[in-house]
Amino acid sequence: MSDSRAAALRSLLFASSAAGMLIAAPAFAAEAAAEDGVIVTADQQQPANLGTIDVNGQVKKPAPVSPEFVAPLVDTPRSITIIPQAIIEQTSASSLQDLLSNSPGITFGAGEGGQPLADRPFIRGQSSGNNIFVDGIRDTGGQQREVFNLEQVEVIKGPDAVYSGRGSGGGSINLGSKSPKLNAFTNVSAGAGTDGYLRGTVDTNLPLGETAALRINLMGAQGNVPGRDAVDYDKWGAAVSLGAGLGTPSSMVFSYYHLTSDQMPDYGIPLFTKIGVRTTDSGVLDVPYDSFYGLKARDYLTNEVDTFTFKAEHRLNDFATIRNVSRFSRTLNDYIVTNPGDGGYVGRAADGTYWMKRGTKTRWNPVTTLANVTDVFGQFATGSIRHSYDVGVELSRERNKNASYSTYTTSGSACPTGLTTISGSYPTATGASGAGDCTQVYNPDPDDAWTGVINRGPTSSNTTEAIGVYANDSITLTEPLILNLGVRWDQYSVKGVNATATQAAGVWTSTGFTAVPEQTWEFTNYQVGLVFKPTASSSVYASWSTSSTPPTISAGDQNASGGTGTVDGVANVVLDPEDTESFEIGAKANVFHDRLALSAAAFHLTRKNALILVEPNVFRQEGEVEVKGIELGVSGNITREWTVFGGYTYMDSELTKAAVVVSGTPPVSSVNPLQGLPLANTPEHSASLFTTYRLLPRLTIGGGVYYTSESLGGNQGGAGGGNNRVYAPEWTRVDAFATYDLTDRATLQLNVKNATDEDYIIRTNGVHHADVAAGRQAILALNLRF
């Protein structure tokens, strides 16, 4: 951490302590979320519910914030999980990946195969990194997202183009930001823990008259990743939101969000392919899990985010409310990271030790986005039939720049002489990446000295423009029967410039720029669902939904192609989008006087239209994958003292039609050995349960259990991931939680993450490396609200 940032963090923590305000305890999340009043009784301060509390003291179940959801969750015919602020705080989450472990069926892919080192969730086996939204607007750019400014996270599972537009084959994730309220409160946080953990947050809401308010959120954090001592981070963030006309028919909210994150990037440990000998059943090399192959002297990862949002809303009457949201954002994803499986040279010394040359992945990727969404929503009746509707239009323009760095080594850790070469060529001073930069495969040293030439190469860029028009309607035909309809039309276009260059001794020489012709896609998607309500608090449903993914979005993912390809011998054909459709049946119920929400769903998802080789020299868009499974969910209070939040997902996935394998002379095609295999990053079983119990009036205990069965590595469509049978073994993690109320406003909170210090692989890309999960960490925070 830089001296200036460390000083800023210490100042934040000192100011917190001096003011006597030390973390927004989960117990107080309900008050912070109350729109129109303040709930201050001691009972309601306890973390004994997972909803917000209204002015009458009633628990309100979390609901999606977007007007595109035209019915309550119990009446919406699809799987939706809402992770409330209480879970964010009780689990001591600090990243989106931390938080989404509470939603089974979501995994995270490794950064490889053209993918940036950033959040890359997979939902129902489909890559969904481009389907993350903030307050209903697509959050573009490679990032590792923070949670300090979130009130809730909404996970929509299954094709949801009618809500989210292009590229939502597996589902989408919407992050709900903290917003101004009309009641005054201040929550400040300071926590300390093992592995150098320090984190402070301030959340203050200041009413400005009867209908205006200002909300400010600040965050500073630093620490090391448990079990990965060389991997450290420091970050700070700020969010300011000013609202006027709150609680009136006409309101406006202006928000600004900033995040700066600096960390040591971590590509984990290599696979057996590094030495050519399989040392474990999973294919992950049998090195110690604390092995780190990066270089402190060279590697870095910087994320920066700046977002300006303006929302205006005017309620005309029950029939129509108009809402307009405009946003400008800029993100930067900038890194040099060592890839332990992609350095080229590997050799074996006479004493049996293996040596490798470090390989690097680099990226400089700023993205700017301008977006506007306008909705008209409300309710009306046509005779005895009632409608709850939303119609809208979305406009966006994204400018994406991309460049690589040279990492030419002038002086680094030398490779010993006399090695028996396993792969690659012995690195010499005349090599393309310079001399040396070697380390032992089984005993890497991140403190190796390194000097070299780092220059950023020429910049490629592309511009994406999108238009979406949509309509959703929840139609109450009779009291127990509801018809849900949705339709959306999208136009998506991309154009750009590709830079080419050569590199010598770390110096780039541009060889020119090539314009990429504009490519445009138009597609229409649908949702149809029928809901039957046995009671007012329960429902059973059946639904069908579709989604379209333009090929430029999913390039680099399994079975995906670029924007153009050769189809039936014709070159440069603009490819059709990949199509996803899903059939789902399910049931939902709110029980125990609406304190506990239960859900169950069965689904069958098919994605098709990927470009594949179907016979020698013949490509067609006939690739297909299939995922079917069931999902169970629970959220809320079993008793007044006992809360639960969790679920279980079973997925049976299959690559049903892959590119054929061509061999021989004349060429003969045969079935791809990958065909019939499960999809990458799609475990068959996953489950999570976080629960708390108020054991004494001031003491609450609990914890979480998280399980994932084995999961194949990435690059499923290539020769590596499937043929090598590389997978992340099954794992179970146990977390512990406790709070003790010192007073009716002060609370101590203890979190022990991975309490059993389980060693496990959280993901692998299947070709180069496997990412090691964090080890045990204890965090203690003192909480005060006023």
Tokens of 91: 């689990």
pLDDT at 672: 83
H or E element in which residue 408 lies: strand 408-412
Quick one: average pLDDT of 315-340? 96
112 has pLDDT over 60: no
Region of poorest pLDDT, from 170-174, 551-555, 659-663: 551-555
Residues 606-615 pLDDT 10s: 999 988 888 8
Of 437 and 260, more confident? 260
| Segments of 103-227 assigned E as strands | 106-108, 121-123, 126-127, 132-134, 137-138, 150-157, 171-177, 185-193, 198-207, 212-225
Give the pLDDT confidence score for residue 49 in this predicted structure: 57
Dump the DSSP string for 374-409: EEEEEEEEETTEEEEEEEEEEEEEEEEEEB-B--EE
Which residues of 61-120 form beta strands (DSSP E)? 80-84, 106-108
Q: End-to-end CA distance of the chain: give it in Å, rounded.
A: 32
CATH architecture of 3-263+298-339+357-402+453-593+602-684: Beta Barrel (2.40)
Tens-digit pLDDT profile for residues 139-172: 988 889 999 999 999 999 999 999 999 987 899 9
pTM confidence score: 0.90
Measured torsion, CA atoms of residues 557, 563, 568, 572, in degrees rounded to the nearest 10:
-140
679 DSSP 8-state letter: P
Count of CA atoms in the C-beta half-sphere (13 A) of 314: 3
pLDDT tens, 432-490?
Answer: 788 888 999 999 999 999 999 999 999 999 999 999 999 999 999 999 999 999 999 99
Q: Strands 171-177 and 132-134, how do they pair?
A: parallel
At 385-418, the pLDDT tens digits run 999 999 999 999 999 999 999 999 999 898 888 8
Rounded Cα distance between 471 and 488, Å, is 7
- Choose among 584, 699, 773: nearest CA to 80: 584
Q: Check residue 262 and give its pLDDT.
A: 97
Could you give the CA distance from residue 478 to residue 457 in angstroms, rounded to a whole number? 64
- Given this model, what pLDDT does residue 469 score? 98
**CA-closest candidate to residue 459, choices 506, 399, 519, 504:** 399
What 8-state DSSP symbol labels residue 755? T
Residue 227 pairs in a beta bridge with: none
Tell which residue, 761, 785, 698, has the closest CA to residue 269: 761
Q: Count CB-CB contacts under 10 A for residue 146.
A: 23
Which token pair is 398? 């994204």
Q: Which of 702, 778, 704 is nearest to 734 (CA)?
A: 704
Q: What's at 368, amino acid-wise?
A: T
pLDDT digits (tens, 9 = 90+) for 617-661: 888 888 999 999 999 999 999 999 999 999 999 999 999 998 888
Report DSSP letters for 442-505, one per residue.
SS--TT--EEEE--B-PPEEEEEEEEEEEEEEEEEEETTEEEEEEEEEEEEEEEEEEEEEEEET
Strand partners, 434: 409
Per-residue model confidence (pLDDT) at position 426? 83
Domain residue ranges of the chain, discontinuous segments joined by +: 3-263+298-339+357-402+453-593+602-684
Structure tokens belonging to residue 133: 């939204």
Q: Hunting for tokens 């084959």 — which residue is that? A: 169
